[in-house]
Amino acid sequence: MQQAPINFFEEGQVLLINKPLEWTSFDVVRKIRNTIKIKKVGHAGTLDPLATGLLILCTGKFTKRINEYMAQEKEYTGTITFGATTPTYDLESEPQDLKDYSTITREQLQAIAQQFTGEQLQVPPMHSAIKKDGKRVYELARKGQTIELEPRRIVIKEFEFTAIELPVVHFRVVCSTGTYIRSLANDVGRTAGCGAYLSSLCRTRIGAFTLDQSMTMERALEWVKEMKNEG
């Protein structure tokens, strides 16, 4: 079988991948890069290890478009668990400060969702990859240091709670780039008065790209190998 031109991926391709649970975004990049065997492979927007869903990978000349994709509107679904907080705002750390959540009502949740819809200032989580004085703040957080982070302007276009099974509440959110869903979950819990943390997250859309257009990691690796071997 004739080899496909090596520049197929160097000329630029966009891969839509459903990131597996517990993989870092860079794990996906590294696996694809090692399979393609070119250096220019990058992703357009980090997903935390405990999140799943749409990850855009760009190869070759298309890596110049990464910032363009990153700037686009994003949609997520997931769950928020009420009645506790965690230092990382998700399940990367253990729940603590347990409180009664039994008085939460559907009407209260609807009001909270409305309160967090629109343009607002959001403080990023301490356990994030943001740099402060040249260091990742999560590295400082792991050493027990508390850093005051500046709030960032974000836009939450749509925010709704889709199912209530207390202490777990399912949600859907459409937001601007730079929005931390972990911070949103923490802020919602503080507003509700009983604390909350992000217990699951799936990115379902980036701009016009949707999760149902994506490939599993296994299928993506198969496709890369097929394209390298096709003549």
- Nearest residue to 78 (alpha-carbon basis) of 166, 17, 160: 160
Of 27, 48, 90, 212, the catalytic one is 48
Say if CB 71 and CB 178 are below 8 A apart: no
| Alpha carbons 141 and 128: distance in angstroms, whole number | 9
The token pair that represents 226 in the structure block: 């097929």
- 90 flagged as catalytic: no
| Alpha carbons 168 and 180: distance in angstroms, whole number | 19
Verify cis geometry, omega within 30 degrees of 0, for the bond prior to 49: no
| Alpha carbons 203 and 23: distance in angstroms, whole number | 14
| Alpha carbons 181 and 104: distance in angstroms, whole number | 21
| Alpha carbons 140 and 184: distance in angstroms, whole number | 22
Q: Which positions ≥6 away from 84 have C-beta within 8 Å? A: 95, 96, 97, 98, 99, 195, 196, 197
Would you please indicate which residues are annotated as catalytic (active-site) residues? Answer: 48
